[in-house]
């Protein structure tokens, strides 16, 4: 978005156009671009402003999942929204920084400002640096729109050039996109560069670096705590907490709608106990797996692994745990398509979820090959786990502990 476009949207006429655009998009047929544009033009909104308002209103609607009701007051670009930290994650980080005594934070590469705003909400003054002029203008507009401008100073500059004297902590969430806008998993393609990002640790002792969840553990700065965060079982980020901010070497933080946050910590090198398949299988949360805390998790449910390289945990009893889904295993079968098809038919299974770890099979293809019977309103639901046990390809059949086998649609126990 060009800064002039942002200025137009922030004018009284722009605010009115944004309100009208949100109403048009929510009305029947509003998802058709031509209908929406015509409706705004008919309401007297000039064409360029109508286009900008419709784009912005659509971005705000998409942003609700990350920012809640505040999205309706904020400004976004498509890339800025995609890269922005969810408020629930940013607020947690900000609260931890504040609790650690941080009062003045540099946010280097602040984007549209999700982390900056969260820090300001926590009462931290923020020096927000953004290289892209339009994005920097949006970050400043968002600070004003959310009533946090007094705590936020946005500067449009290259983060590698700014003076960090006076801040008592630094946060950096580098852009992880290639020149074509596609996501990159290679830290050497980060912007600011990975060399700059990791050098911050020596310049500002209290530093937090946000990185992609798939980051190589070898890149964790010495002495840092590496945290993986999941939201509703979806791993959304990793962050390295450096210097005095570091806690235990590895942490998995699980945020779930409507429940308190939970965290599992360890050193990531806990010894792994391997044993046979047992009656209950746990599929650990992705944050636990990424943090290399599967062995630490197994200890919390008195579990063992079936194969030391595969993150399924087996135990004799079901334990109510936030760290993984629990399935009751009813059948352990050496993998054979014919045998599996026969067992599923015999059980009347018509609805099957397929989980896999350590299996080369394509679940979608397997589902087709299994040719499950379809039965409207009847039949049995089951879970199929494709894995290896002691090196052997194995199929495990079972059901979630909270939803035992039974007619499809039967209430969970
Ligand atoms: C991943 S986004 C930050 C998102 C932000 N944490 C949020 O939640 O809204 C990274 C940002 O860094 C900016 N950036 C990239 N290289 C930079 C540099 N050398 N100096 C300052 N900003 C930079 C990009 O323009 C982009 O907006």
- Quickly tell me which residue has 């310049």 as its tokens: 203
The verdict on whether omega for the bond into residue 192 sits within 30 degrees of 0, i.e. cis, is yes
Phi and psi angles of residue 256, each rounded to the nearest 5 degrees, phi first: -135, 140
Atom 8 of ligand 1, nearest CA residue: 84
Are 184 and 124 members of one domain? yes
Q: Is residue 254 part of a domain?
A: no
Q: Is the CB of 192 under 6 A from ligand 1?
A: yes
Atom 15 of ligand 1, nearest CA residue: 191
Q: Is the CB of 225 under 6 A from ligand 1?
A: no
Region for residue 284 given its phi and psi (left: phi exceeds 0; alpha: psi -120 to 50; beta: otherwise): beta
Are 67 and 124 members of one domain? no
Are 100 and 69 members of one domain? no
Query: Using CB atoms within 10 A of its CB, is residue 326 exposed (0-12), middle (13-18) or buried (19+)?
Result: buried
Q: Is residue 201 part of a domain?
A: yes
Please choose from 81, 130, 194, 239 the residue to mutate so as to test ligand 1's pocket, defined by most ligand atoms within 8 A of CB: 130
Q: Is residue 275 part of a domain?
A: no
Alpha carbon distance 231, 280 (integer Å): 24
Are 223 and 306 members of one domain? no
**Torsion sign, CA atoms 391, 393, 394, 400:** positive
Region for residue 293 given its phi and psi (left: phi exceeds 0; alpha: psi -120 to 50; beta: otherwise): alpha
Q: Is residue 411 part of a domain?
A: no
CA atoms within 13 A on the CB side of 135: 24
Are 287 and 367 members of one domain? yes
Are 141 and 179 members of one domain? yes
* Ligand 1 nearest atom to the CA of residue 135, by list position: 27
Are 68 and 92 members of one domain? no
Are 96 and 205 members of one domain? yes
Give 96-160 as a DSSP string: HHHHTT--EEEEES-TTSHHHHHHHHTT-EEEEEESSHHHHHHHHHHHHHTT-GGGEEEEES-TT
> For residue 177, what is the domain's CATH number?
3.40.50.150
Are 49 and 141 members of one domain? no
What is the pLDDT, as a whole number, of residue 184? 66
Q: Is residue 110 part of a domain?
A: yes
Distance from the alpha carbon of residue 184 to the mean position of ligand 1, in angstroms? 14
Q: Domain range holding 388?
A: 280-400
Stretch (H or E) spanning 296: helix 294-300
From first to last of the 413 residues of the chain, give the pLDDT tens digit: 888 899 999 999 999 999 999 988 888 877 888 888 888 888 888 888 999 999 999 999 999 999 999 999 999 999 999 999 999 999 999 999 999 999 999 999 999 999 999 999 999 999 999 999 999 999 999 999 999 999 999 999 999 999 999 999 999 999 986 656 666 667 888 899 999 999 999 999 999 999 999 999 999 999 999 999 999 999 999 999 999 999 999 999 999 988 889 999 999 888 889 999 999 999 999 999 999 999 999 999 999 999 989 999 999 999 999 999 999 999 999 888 999 999 999 988 999 999 999 999 999 999 999 988 776 667 789 999 999 998 899 999 999 997 545 444 333 32
Q: Is residue 256 part of a domain?
A: no
Structural domain count, the chain = 3
Are 201 and 93 members of one domain? yes
Are 148 and 229 members of one domain? yes
Q: Is residue 102 part of a domain?
A: yes
Please choose from 66, 112, 140, 191 the residue to mutate so as to test ligand 1's pocket, defined by most ligand atoms within 8 A of CB: 191
Q: Is the CB of 85 under 6 A from ligand 1?
A: yes
Q: Is residue 412 part of a domain?
A: no
């Amino acid at each position: 978005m060009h800064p002039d476009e942002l200025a137009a949207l922030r004018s009284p006429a722009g605010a009115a156009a944004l309100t009208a655009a949100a109403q048009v998009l929510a009305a029947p047929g509003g998802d058709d671009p031509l209908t929406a544009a015509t409706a705004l033009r008919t309401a007297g909104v000039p064409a360029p402003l109508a286009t900008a308002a419709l784009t912005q209103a659509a971005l705000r609607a998409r942003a609700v999942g990350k920012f809640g009701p505040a999205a309706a007051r904020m400004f976004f670009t498509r890339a800025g929204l995609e890269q922005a930290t969810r408020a629930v994650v940013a607020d947690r980080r900000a609260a931890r920084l504040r609790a650690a005594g941080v009062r003045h934070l540099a946010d280097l590469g602040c984007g549209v400002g999700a982390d900056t705003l969260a820090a300001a909400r926590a009462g931290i003054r923020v020096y927000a640096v953004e290289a892209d002029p339009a994005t920097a203008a949006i970050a400043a507009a968002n600070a004003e729109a959310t009533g946090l401008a007094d705590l936020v100073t946005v500067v449009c500059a290259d983060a590698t050039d700014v003076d960090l004297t006076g801040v008592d902590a630094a946060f950096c969430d580098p852009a992880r996109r290639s020149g074509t806008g596609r996501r990159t998993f290679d830290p050497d393609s980060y912007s600011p560069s990975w060399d700059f990002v990791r050098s911050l640790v020596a310049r500002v002792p209290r530093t937090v670096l946000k990185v992609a969840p798939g980051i190589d553990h070898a890149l964790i700065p010495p002495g840092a705590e590496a945290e993986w965060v999941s939201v509703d079982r979806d791993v959304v980020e990793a962050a390295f907490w450096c210097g005095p901010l570091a806690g235990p070497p590895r942490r998995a933080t699980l945020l779930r709608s409507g429940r308190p946050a939970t965290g599992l910590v360890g050193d990531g090198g806990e010894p792994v106990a391997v044993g046979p398949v047992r009656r209950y299988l746990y599929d650990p949360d992705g944050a636990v797996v990424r943090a290399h805390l599967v062995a630490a998790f197994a200890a919390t449910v008195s579990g063992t692994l079936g194969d030391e390289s595969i993150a399924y945990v087996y135990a004799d009893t079901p334990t109510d745990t936030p760290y993984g889904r629990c399935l009751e295993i009813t059948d352990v079968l050496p993998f054979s398509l014919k045998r599996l098809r026969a067992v599923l038919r015999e059980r009347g299974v018509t609805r099957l979820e397929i989980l896999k770890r350590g299996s080369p099979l394509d679940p979608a293809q397997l589902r087709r090959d299994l040719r499950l019977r379809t039965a409207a309103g009847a039949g049995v639901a089951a879970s199929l786990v494709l894995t290896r046990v002691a090196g052997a390809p194995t199929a495990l059949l079972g059901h979630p502990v909270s939803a035992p086998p039974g007619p499809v649609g039967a209430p969970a126990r």
